[in-house]
Amino acid sequence: MSDRQAIFDTVAAQIAPFNKKGVELTETTTFQGDLEWDSLTVMDFVAAIEDEFEIIITMNMQAEIETVGQLVDAVEKLKQA
Amino acid sequence: MTEAAAQPHALPAEAPEIAPERDLLSKFDGLIAERQKLLDSGVTDPFAIVMEQVKSPTEAVIRGKDTILLGTYNYMGMTFDPDVIAAGKEALEKFGSGTNGSRMLNGTFHDHMEVEQALREFYGTTGAIVFSTGYMANLGIISTLAGKGEYVILDADSHASIYDGCQQGNAEIVRFRHNSVEDLDKRLGRLPKEPAKLVVLEGVYSMMGDIAPLKEMVAVAKKHGAMVLVDEAHSMGFFGPNGRGVYEAQGLEGQVDFVVGTFSKSVGTVGGFVVSNHPKFEAVRLACRPYIFTASLPPSVVATAATSIRKLMTAHDKRERLWSNARVLHGGLKAMGFKLGTENPDSAVVAVILEDQEQAVMMWQALLDGGLYVNMARPPATPAGIFLLRCSICAEHSPAQLETVLGMFRAAGQAVGAIS
């Protein structure tokens, strides 16, 4: 399993408790449109991801992340830094 | 003059309608529909209350009815203080109704200097800068202090003015879980060591009325080499031996780099400020856009603020009455079985938590009809999607008023099923 796939799986596991509608997750699933998350859910989820990977996703970065794939990319990059 | 300039740009007699997808206001359709639904249910719009007359810090006439005010931030009841009013009248007569300009140009009058001096004395600091509102103080100081490549670390439940201050600037913004010392420590630990950092905290979080563990948080911030700003908007006048705020009450004198405050709550007028002991603090004036590119406060406003601040330094009786009132209201509501924002009367805000918007609105309406005004607060202003009725207490609420208030809460709470 590639590193990226492992990150995707971990991200998916973190999404699960917030995925109340059971939306199927792909690279292009969007947090706002598909998962219908409000700003409070996003805040809780980001904190959980940060703690899982021991990284910081600044609010500036969060503004650029719309899909699951983009989040996985960002985590991958931040972990290397 | 050319032909074209002489002819006003003629519009067709009937302008074509703008297509919905190009109408900039289409994005508000959801908000408009939600508000209409609320109004159609027959309630008064909670966000369109008009005070027809204001009789004292605790009484107004709303919709022709005498109403007790329990939803203003008039904590110390200074709005009708005779000395404060006299100072305003005198300034109005001597200096006119307005300044017509920026503090940087023609907008600094005698009383702007006077109120900054009053703030230095009140907080025991070397520096004080006054802004036109508390919102602008946060907008200005946060965006100016933290620049590109630097970090602002803020509590997730921060006031909108703090979030907007972050957005206005160019720094990297990092959030930590509300009031969690451990979460703040972890996040600071993950940031690169080199860049300068500003940790932004609030003494009292005004939605729930909870206070911050500033002592532990400031220690963590210092451990990681960050500077600290504390917004003490909801604590001025009645926290700490000199009424400086929660940071003073927790023994942090000299450890907080910047304190932000407002004139619109305990001081009883309008305006915002930042105080600091930093030797280069004055330089902020030269770089801060929300300070430079706006008109300064009218002379009467700064004169009332200066008088009020000096009186707050020694307002020991008011302070005691405010805390006593907070204990009576919090204790009374708790004993009735209401779910409150805090376990104890930690501040002058008592938040009554309700199940949903419908229950909150029904109860708010019942209280208003009975002659009591409280704030209805809802997401996104509230944390965690909570609907609440927020009471803010005034030193001038009388024991009889509080008894009336508690009676009204009991009746309304039972009517909507919030308590049994």
Q: Is the dihedral of CA B38, B42, B46, B52 positive or negative?
A: positive
The length of chain A in residues reads 81
Shortest CB distance from B172 goes to which of A50, A55, A60? A60
Shortest CB distance from B174 goes to which of A40, A54, A58? A58
CB contact under 8 A, A59 and B177: no
pLDDT at residue B102 above 60? yes
pLDDT in tens, A12-29: 999 999 998 899 999 999
CB contact under 8 A, B173 and A58: yes
**Å between A63 CA and nearest CA of chain B:** 11
Residue-wise DSSP of B113-143: HHHHHHHHHHHT-SEEEEESSHHHHHHHHHH
More reliable by pLDDT, B394 or B7: B394
pLDDT in tens, B342-360: 999 999 999 999 999 889 9
CB contact under 8 A, B190 and A51: no
Q: What is the pLDDT of residue B6?
A: 52
pLDDT in tens, A40-81: 889 899 999 999 999 999 999 999 999 999 999 999 999 987
CA B271 to chain centre: 11
* A-B contacts at Cβ under 8 angstroms: 32
CATH topology assigned to domain B42-76+316-416: Aspartate Aminotransferase, domain 1 (3.90.1150)
Q: What is the pLDDT of residue B41?
A: 84
Domain ranges of chain A: 3-17+30-80
pLDDT at residue B257 above 70? yes
- Mutate which: B170, B174, B177, vs A, most A CBs within 10 A: B174
Shortest CB distance from B174 goes to which of A39, A43, A56? A56
CATH topology assigned to domain A3-17+30-80: 1.10.1200
For residue A60, the chain B residues in CB contact (below 8 A) are 172-173
pTM as predicted: 0.93
Place of tokens 């005198």: B90
Residues 6+ apart with CB under 8 A from B389: B351, B352, B354, B360, B363, B364, B367, B374, B375, B376, B377
**Å between A60 CA and nearest CA of chain B:** 6
Nearest-angstrom CA–CA distance, B326 and B346:
8
CB contact under 8 A, A58 and B166: no
- Window 151-180 of B: residues touching A by CB (8 A cutoff) are 156, 166, 172-175, 177
pLDDT at residue B233 above 80? yes
Pairing of strands B172-176, B227-231: unpaired
Nearest-angstrom CA–CA distance, B393 and B391:
6
CB contact under 8 A, A40 and B174: no
pLDDT in tens, B294-326: 999 999 999 999 999 999 999 999 999 999 999
For residue B385, the chain A residues in CB contact (below 8 A) are 38, 40
Q: What's the mean pLDDT when you consider all of chain B? A: 95
Q: Is the dihedral of CA B42, B45, B51, B52 positive or negative?
A: negative
CB contact under 8 A, A56 and B187: yes
Nearest-angstrom CA–CA distance, B359 and B385:
14
pLDDT at residue B384 above 80? no
**Residue B191 at interface with chain A, using a CB cutoff of 8 Å:** yes
pLDDT at residue B266 above 80? yes
DSSP state of B340: B
pLDDT in tens, B119-158: 999 999 999 999 999 999 999 999 999 999 999 999 999 9
Nearest-angstrom CA–CA distance, B363 and B354:
9
Residue B15: exposed, middle, or buried by beta-carbon count in 10 A (0-12, 13-18, 19+)? exposed
CATH topology assigned to domain B82-312: Aspartate Aminotransferase; domain 2 (3.40.640)
CB contact under 8 A, A40 and B379: yes
Closest listed residue to residue B211, CA positions, set B203, B219, B199: B203
Share of chain A above pLDDT 90, in %: 77
Backbone angles phi and psi of B122, in degrees to 5? -60, -45
CB contact under 8 A, B187 and A54: no
pLDDT at residue B368 above 60? yes
CB contact under 8 A, B174 and A54: no
Ranges in chain B annotated CATH 3.40.640.10: 82-312
**Å between B383 CA and nearest CA of chain A:** 8
Nearest-angstrom CA–CA distance, B220 and B212:
13
Q: What is the pLDDT of residue B66?
A: 97
Share of chain B above pLDDT 70, in %: 96
Pairing of strands B59-62, B53-56: antiparallel
For residue A38, the chain B residues in CB contact (below 8 A) are 385
Shortest CB distance from A59 goes to which of B173, B177, B183? B173
Q: What is the pLDDT of residue B149?
A: 97
Residues 6+ apart with CB under 8 A from B383: A40, B156, B157, B178, B207, B208
Q: What is the pLDDT of residue B382?
A: 82
Which whole number is the average pLDDT over B96-110? 96
Q: What is the pLDDT of residue B1?
A: 47
Amino acid identity for residue B118 in this structure: A
**Å between A69 CA and nearest CA of chain B:** 22
For residue B380, the chain A residues in CB contact (below 8 A) are 39-40
For residue A46, the chain B residues in CB contact (below 8 A) are 175
More reliable by pLDDT, B197 or B47: B197
How many C-beta neighbours within 10 Å does residue B46 have? Answer: 19
For residue B166, the chain A residues in CB contact (below 8 A) are 59
Asked if residue B245 lies in contact with residue B277, where contact means CB atoms within 8 angstroms, the answer is no
Q: What is the pLDDT of residue B250?
A: 98
Q: What is the pLDDT of residue A60?
A: 95
Nearest-angstrom CA–CA distance, B26 and B32:
10
CB contact under 8 A, B383 and A40: yes
For residue A59, the chain B residues in CB contact (below 8 A) are 166, 173-175
For residue A36, the chain B residues in CB contact (below 8 A) are none
**Residue B381 at interface with chain A, using a CB cutoff of 8 Å:** no
Tell me the two tokens of residue B227: 């500077």
**Å between A8 CA and nearest CA of chain B:** 22
Closest listed residue to residue B46, CA positions, set B351, B362, B376, B389: B376
Tell me the two tokens of residue B321: 């009455």
